Structure 1
Amino acid sequence: MIAGIGVDVVDLARFERALERTPALRERLFAPEERALGAHSLAARFAAKEALIKSLGDVPGFRWLDVEVVRDEHGDPSFTLRNAIADLVAARGITTVHLSMSHDGGVAFAFVVTERSAP
């Protein structure tokens, strides 16, 4: 059963300017393993984190570093959730989080669907 859906779009040029203007954004928004990626990949990951928040609704105690976008051996993206966000997802009975993201034509976008077992 679908628990939530979230989507987010990030303007690539604007995001790159933000990273250049405020280098500390990398440390504030991204896990250490994500920080070495290029601006376009970071923009897609930022969109993914925003889409996750939207799919969950109210997210008290959210910390950017508690959400990491990872890829499996096939290159498929997913989330690693830690601390309060992992506890929140578990408390809401969410068993699966689907993630799709891309960047093209000057934008990065992400789509998230959360699922829980039927009551």
Structure 2
Amino acid sequence: MSRGDEWIAVAADSVARQVMGRVVVCAGTDLVDVDDIRALLARQPRFADRHFTPGERAYCLLQRDPAERFAVRFAAKEAVLKALGTGLTGVALREIEVVRRHSGQPALALAGRAAALAAAAGVHSWMITLTHSRHLAYAFVAGVGQPS
């Protein structure tokens, strides 16, 4: 097992423990190449403005390597789209925001059509895990239903 495979397995195990005993109504995962995002940011300066909220951009641009943070947030957005079953054209990516709780734990905030689709799917809250290296960014999300 490669080093990258190991950290993906640890992240998946962490989420699996968090969802035990909860009603998961949808789930999605995505893996992004950080170098691809780095190239997009360099080639298309408006890429970040079009796909990330002001809060996400501010957080990412404070980091030593913003591409890693942008990539993992892009992976999270794609994972949400997969969970909702919309595909990449179903929702504007800025309607899905990765926010940080006071503890530093990531969370999701959905707006507009993304929020409406999640509500229609019965999603009451989201669980999210993010991890990245210099080369890969991985996200897993689970839409959790209302407790019965």
Is TM-score (shorter-chain normalized) higher than 0.5? yes
How high is the TM-score relative to the length of structure 2? 0.74
SS across alignment from 2:91 = coil
| Residues matched between the structures, number | 119
SS across alignment from 2:57 = coil
Q: Structure 1, residues 36-94: CA drift from partner, whole Å, max 9, x if none?
A: 31111011000000011111113675111111100001110011111111112112221
Cα offset, 1:8, TM superposition: 0.5
* Counterpart residue number, 1:35: 57
Take 2:108 and 2:46, find their aligned partners in 1: how far apart are those partners?
22
Is 1:113 matched with 2:142?
A: yes
Take 2:115 and 2:26, find their aligned partners in 1: how far apart are those partners?
16
CA contact (8 A) 2:29 2:140 kept: yes
Cα offset, 1:14, TM superposition: 1.5
1:18 alignment partner, one of 19, 35, 40: 40
1:100 alignment partner, one of 129, 134, 139: 129
* Counterpart residue number, 1:2: 24
Identity among equivalent pairs (%): 36
Q: 1:75/1:118 Cα in 2 relative to 1: closer, same or farther (>3 Å)?
A: closer
Take 2:145 and 2:108, find their aligned partners in 1: how far apart are those partners?
16
Identify the structure with the greater helix proportion: 2
Give structure 2 stretches of 5+ with no counterpart: 1-22, 61-65
- Flag as ranges the 4+ runs of structure 1 deviating above 3 A: none
Which structure would you say has the larger Rg? 2
SS across alignment from 1:39 = helix
Give structure 1 stretches of 5+ with no counterpart: none
How high is the TM-score relative to the length of structure 1? 0.91
Cα offset, 1:24, TM superposition: 0.8
